[in-house]
């Protein structure tokens, strides 16, 4: 390797000022950490953050610095923290709610925009999704058009916003409706009217998230080539593979939430086709690609006729199925069990919707009402039914993505790595095929345990004891359930009773069953 070689990506970012919307989200935080750590010559990062729960953007930034995510910056490069500048604002307002002086500073100084802000609530009403994801993008574009020296506008979309295509190419397809017309309609329609109109608008779209993100892509395309824009479509974003720490995650969305819910014994059935391939991407790999894509857009000598689109997915290289993930995850949860589980973690995937619904009733709903009944008797706050209702809604939304195969072209994404020099290839790894599934899933579950649930690894012996006890209880309850079921069948079905009678003394002394079979003696 040439020792005189330098990072071309860092050289391009040298002295640049960057604006990040959605800075407090998972991908926003990982982007900020990676830029500050691996692109040390960047001038500054403006982080658009809104007031939340009485906390100012400045105090939210202070809280953010304390996260384990930023540990290597605190230890090795604490001086770069001053490069992060909080900007009070919100994409729900014109000019992003930014006060005039700061807005003029952004117009004059910023040269790169990463637009990450979005509502990730898949089950949100359409009006909410349009306001945040579609109109919010329009507001960010309006600000971008006033920036004097903009070199790259990176719009974060999703790989799942075209459910009507069997294979998604790296291009922006025509939207089902005019985005600006829909936004005008939402200005005067009531929530009730929108609810009535929603099914006819969705067509093949499963929820407001994919629909509103598709319309947002169309708005970005309409702004090209006036703006040096690119559309980025990651698949399901999962915890970090390596940077800055393996398994980093700060929320329970997506597969991590399912793993934690299953590990806690709360989720025991999911409607999913186990043979379908899992289309996921670690957050740090996605962020590496996004940083490199901005560099590529900014160094283009001539803009292509079509807006550049990158599907950040494993595409045709994937070979891991949902069943493999479940099997590895189940083994990992038994190795690193969660503390205070509700029940022994032994959930499963079920391809048959009817069987899944039966399991949900017996394994989710009935236990939830039983626990809340106990809470009521002991005059404690009831919570389990409410939690299970939320889980049921979440599972119903997710099962759309886990009961079908998704295929993506990844030519543009795969073309990125070969253009990087050795330094940038090491700083910004993009290859998904090098990830070992077993160790990665293990790091994801440990990450959920450490960073989301705040559980300590020192407490593993206690957690293992709890799980061992619950395993015995689970087996006893299972046997009890099937004995009751068989005894009920023997009581009402003569041929079942006749077959069981051949069991003689063994059946006679089975609890419930013996009495049902030999009730005439």
φ, ψ for residue 341, nearest 5 deg: -70, 150
Q: What is the C-alpha to C-alpha distance for residues 411 and 27, in angstroms, rounded to an integer?
A: 23
Give the model confidence (pLDDT) of 9-55 as tens digits.
999 999 999 999 999 999 999 999 999 999 989 999 999 999 888 88
Q: Are 106 and 98 in contact (CB under 8 A)?
A: yes
pLDDT(397) > 80: no
Give the model confidence (pLDDT) of 45-78 as tens digits.
999 999 888 888 999 999 999 999 999 999 999 9
Q: What three-state secondary structure class fits 156?
A: strand
pLDDT(187) > 90: no
300-317 b/e (C-beta count within 10 Å ≥ 16 → b): eeeeeeebbbbbbbbbee
Q: In the prediction, which pLDDT does 521 show?
A: 53
Q: What is the C-alpha to C-alpha distance for residues 493 and 486, in angstroms, rounded to an integer?
A: 10
**Pairing state of beta strands 152-156 and 229-234?**
parallel
Q: In the prediction, which pLDDT does 120 show?
A: 82
Give the model confidence (pLDDT) of 303-326 as tens digits.
999 999 999 998 888 788 999 998
Closest CA to 463 of 358, 334, 350: 334
pLDDT(505) > 80: yes
β-sheet bridge partners, residue 87? 48
Task: Give the mean pLDDT of 154-172.
Answer: 93
Give the model confidence (pLDDT) of 255-309 as tens digits.
888 888 888 888 888 899 999 988 999 999 999 999 999 999 999 988 999 999 9
Q: Please give the model's pTM, rounded to 2 decimal places.
A: 0.91
The percentage of residues in the chain with a pLDDT greater than 90, rounded to a whole number, is 57
Q: What is the C-alpha to C-alpha distance for residues 379 and 372, in angstroms, rounded to an integer?
A: 10
Q: Who contacts 283 (Cβ-Cβ below 8 Å, separation ≥6)?
A: 26, 27, 30, 237, 238, 239, 240, 248, 249
| Angle at CA of residue 513, ends 511 and 514, nearest 5° | 80
Confidence of residue 520 (pLDDT cuts 50, 70, 90): low
Q: What is the mean pLDDT of the chain?
A: 90
pLDDT(2) > 70: no
Give the model confidence (pLDDT) of 331-390 as tens digits.
999 999 999 888 898 888 998 989 998 988 888 888 889 889 988 898 888 888 888 887
Dihedral angle, C-alpha 25, 31, 32, 33, nearest 10 °: 110
CA distances from 233 to 102, 213, 289, 309, 481 (A): 30, 10, 11, 8, 47
**Pairing state of beta strands 280-282 and 167-168?**
unpaired
φ, ψ for residue 308, nearest 5 deg: -65, 135
Confidence of residue 219 (pLDDT cuts 50, 70, 90): very high
Least confident of 91-95, 211-215, 479-483: 479-483
């Amino acid at each position: 390797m040439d020792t005189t070689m330098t990072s071309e990506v860092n050289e391009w970012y040298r002295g640049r000022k960057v604006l990040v919307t959605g800075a407090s989200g998972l991908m926003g935080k990982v982007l900020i950490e990676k830029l500050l750590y691996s692109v040390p010559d960047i001038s500054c990062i403006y982080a658009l953050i809104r007031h939340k729960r009485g906390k100012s953007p400045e105090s939210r930034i202070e809280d953010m610095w304390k996260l384990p995510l930023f540990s290597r910056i605190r230890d090795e490069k604490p001086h770069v923290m001053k490069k992060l500048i909080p900007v009070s604002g919100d994409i729900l307002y014109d000019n992003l709610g930014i006060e005039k002086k700061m807005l003029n500073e952004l117009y004059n100084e910023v040269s790169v925009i990463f637009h990450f802000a979005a509502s990730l609530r898949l089950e949100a009403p359409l009006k909410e999704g349009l306001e945040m994801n579609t109109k919010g993008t329009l507001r960010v574009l309006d600000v971008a058009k006033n920036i004097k020296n903009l070199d790259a506008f990176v719009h974060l979309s999703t790989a799942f916003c075209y459910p009507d295509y069997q294979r998604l190419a790296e291009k922006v397809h025509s939207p089902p409706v005019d985005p600006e017309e829909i936004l005008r309609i939402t200005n005067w329609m009531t929530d009730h009217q929108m609810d009535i109109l929603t099914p006819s608008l969705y067509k093949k779209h499963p929820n407001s998230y994919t629909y509103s993100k598709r319309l947002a892509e169309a708005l970005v395309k309409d702004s090209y080539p006036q703006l040096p824009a690119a559309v980025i479509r990651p698949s399901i974003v999962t915890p970090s593979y390596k940077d800055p720490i393996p398994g980093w995650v700060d929320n329970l969305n997506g597969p991590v939430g399912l793993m934690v819910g299953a590990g806690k014994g709360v989720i025991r059935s999911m409607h999913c086709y186990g043979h379908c391939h899992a289309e996921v991407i670690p957050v740090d790999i996605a962020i590496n690609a996004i940083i490199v894509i901005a560099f590529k857009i900014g160094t283009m000598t001539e803009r292509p006729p079509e807006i550049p689109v990158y599907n950040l997915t494993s595409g045709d290289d994937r070979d891991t199925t949902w069943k493999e993930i479940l099997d590895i995850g189940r083994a990992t949860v038994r190795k690193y069990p969660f503390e205070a589980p509700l029940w022994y973690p032994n959930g499963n995937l079920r391809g048959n919707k009817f069987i899944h619904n039966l399991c949900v009733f017996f394994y989710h709903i009935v236990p939830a009402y039983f626990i809340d009944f106990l809470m009521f008797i002991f005059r404690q706050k009831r919570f389990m039914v409410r939690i299970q209702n939320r889980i049921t809604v979440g599972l119903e939304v997710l099962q759309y993505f886990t009961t079908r195969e998704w295929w993506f072209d990844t030519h543009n994404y795969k073309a990125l790595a070969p253009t990087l020099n050795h330094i940038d290839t090491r700083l910004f790894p993009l290859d998904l095929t090098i990830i070992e599934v077993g160790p990665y899933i293990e790091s994801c579950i440990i990450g959920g345990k450490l960073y989301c649930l705040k559980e300590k690894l020192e407490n593993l012996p206690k957690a293992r004891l709890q799980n061992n006890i619950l395993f015995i209880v689970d087996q006893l309850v299972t046997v009890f359930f099937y004995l009751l079921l068989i005894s009920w069948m023997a009581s009402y079905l003569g041929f079942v009773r006749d077959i069981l009678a051949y069991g003689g003394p063994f059946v006679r002394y089975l609890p419930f069953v013996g009495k049902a079979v030999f009730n005439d003696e």
